[in-house]
A and B are shown apart, each in its own frame.
Chain A
């Protein structure tokens, strides 16, 4: 997968049991506690992923941000990977334009 992409690597140490951590990153009801506002994540390979990030609408440039993806690997308490396709573009660049 990473052959055609530059890679961002991140490592984090969390003081919690592994099953709790895995649940937090893989369960659609738990994901919304720390990441997207609305989450769908089907817990099998080939499953559907969809995250929505709601933005407070201060002006008409503020749009909700949405991604969809497909689960590539789902190994409980061990590994989770999924593709990430932006359905909307983050407007980060406006801050610099």
Chain B
């Protein structure tokens, strides 16, 4: 399993995730949105798959990729935690104001 944070450090891979957020796609469909070749897309997809950010489904000859929403949510919770930190600062600022004048 590869780090999903490493996987999204690449611009193109983030773009692919945004595409898959809209709908499931085959590598060929994805490559139409980019300048680069199908093999290049495949490499990006492999990295995203290995980090569990996307899921691969084989339908006949085709591989169809979809966003792994559970994993995306897990990463988002990391940022939600950042908000908890900021909100705690707000709470402390306001509640400390009462005690004594500043």
Q: Which residues from chain A sit less than 8 Å from chain B, CB to CB?
A: 6, 8, 10, 12, 14-16, 20-21, 24-25, 33-35, 93, 96-97
Contacts and interface: CB of A to CB of B under 8 A. Distances in A.
B8 interface: yes
A65 B89 CA distance: 18
A33 B86 CA distance: 11
Contacts, number: 52
A8 B80 contact: yes
B99 to A, nearest CB: 11
- B interface secondary structure, majority: helix
Interface string B51-68: 000000000000000000
Interface of B: 3, 5-6, 8-9, 72-73, 76, 79-80, 83-84, 86-95, 97-98
- A interface secondary structure, majority: loop
Contact of B9 (A14, A33, A93): A93
A10 B95 CA distance: 19
Contact of B90 (A8, A15, A25, A97): A25
Given A14-B90, A14-B95, A34-B92, A8 B6 contact: no
26 contacts: A6-B76, A8-B80, A8-B83, A10-B80, A10-B83, A10-B87, A12-B88, A12-B91, A14-B91, A14-B94, A15-B94, A15-B95, A15-B98, A16-B94, A16-B95, A20-B94, A20-B97, A21-B94, A24-B90, A34-B86, A34-B93, A35-B86, A93-B5, A93-B9, A96-B3, A97-B5
